[in-house]
Chains A and B, each alone.
Chain A
Amino acid sequence: MEDKRVKTAPSKKSVNTAREVWPYVKEDYASAHRAKAEGKPVVWSCAIIPKEVFWALDVYPVFPEHFGVISGMMRRGGTKDESVEKEAVRFSRLAEAAGFASYLCGYARASIGNTLTGNLADAPLGGLPKPDMIITTSFVCDLRGKWLRYLAQKHNVPFYILDIPERGCDLPLTMPGLRSAFLPFYEKIKRGERDIFFSLPADHELDYTQTQWEECIRFIEDVTGHKYNQDRFNEVMDISYRTNEIRLEILELRKAVPAPMGVADGLACMYPGTYTMGTKRCYEFYVRLRDEVKERVENGIGTIPNERFRLLWYGLAPWFNMSLFNYFEKFGGVFVYEPIYNLVPFPPRMPENPVRELAIRTLQQSGGMIAPTTIGQAVSTLVNAAREYKCSGIVTFYLITCRPVVYPTVEIARVLEEDFGIPAVPIECDLIDERTYSEAQTLARFDAFAERLLKMEPVFA
């Protein structure tokens, strides 16, 4: 008899609200196609760009990155037949045939491959509706600029890139002389004594970022003929602000022992906040999630009943095989927290100048944990996270196809292990392209890691 065990599978979720996400996603794809059919302008954009401007200007945003995620999870026609390759693989192979390197981000290869088929709709959930414009940013990685520029060229639609200064090493930049103050603090960062997370942006960085946003608004106005309205924008910004406060509350609740909402749930629940922030629907989702997590904490309900060790996750997600986040459960291990996709505190609301406010927020993010552009910040973020979430081990995603995510991995593992006694184990592959993944190698590493952790005293207990 042949073993029919599935090699890659979705994760098992613990939190009920997390099960609402898949219908939420499906509804988004359906309504994007409805919007397109009704003649509403569709913009292809990216996860890291705040969406408020899109809602305020009444354009419908969709995301090649998320398209990558679903192609990494699904096979053609929705079949579960394992002898059919995942859609991400089919599209990636087409992109590679056109000359794109296999070391490029899987999201990029998937969406490029899909575009190259000439039939966008032959894809999971009917794919993305054809764009009327493409808006990307220089922020986070080099790739998203050039990738979306290529798509704009292929679809022959107007293109805008929102340039955000790439912040350097770590400390306050308000005064020119101060930016190198990083060095004296490095030892403290290593000891986890100082949070270097919020460095205030300098005036010229803020001015520049604000101009970039104003130009972005002007671009959308020009392309669509829609007019920017500050009151409408403030309404959206208000919802975003309130949503983020709820999300911060959830992050606070997630520190509880036993962990009420692990990484499997966390990565599932990132969708509304990452792609639909600023909508009422998104706000309500997080209110329900917060309420449920709160209840679980009050009743002492954990992801698994007896926690023997708690794990931190660094990196994006291997979407093609989310079951990895349940793997340690048989050893009594639980993935507790993932810094990625969890927003940082927003600056206070500035209704008289919301574009300035958005600029401040964008720059704070750019120094932040959601997408650490500097190695020191990434290390510091993970040190703080390990302490706050009482983790005794970390799994680092050697995301071989993402430069910004893979660069800090060595330093994170080294500093956590050498300075804090928190051991690290890597998993090496792409986020959606399962051809890069070796189950044998990964699980052998995980087993050895679990054995090691079971012998250790928890570090931050």
Chain B
Amino acid sequence: MQITFSLNHQTIEIDAPADITLLTFLREHLGVTGVKDGCDVGECGACAILLDGQLVNSCQLLAPQADGREIITIEGLRAADGGLTDLQRHFIDDGAVQCGFCTPGMILAGEALLAKNPTPDREEIADALAGNLCRCTGYIQIFDAIAATARERQAQTTTGERP
């Protein structure tokens, strides 16, 4: 069916098959390969996207469900100057990346959390990542990267700088 949606800040009008998942649609039809296929049953979070700002597993939606929505994938997450966001930079600086397969979903989960709760404690960070599996890092350095980003954004807010 014909759908219109926003993908990484660009409006797309396209014919979307009704019988494939949004994950398959993004990867195979639109070439958005930062969205990963880890389990196809909504358990691992590697396919996570931001749908109208909410963290969702794209393997659990059908392609036409994108109609009228705004989707952000890792490819759409960039700083105003086109470079790394602060969270992406902290993922590098704090060692939150190993194999990198879960990383796009983790970063999007971090952004979804910080949008709702700009000052999360460790427990709130861990809970926000409950739907994103990582087999390499033991999550600890991912917690560190999100916490460091939250602190930095808070400091910028209080000093009047724009994040």
Q: Do A and B come from one complex?
A: no
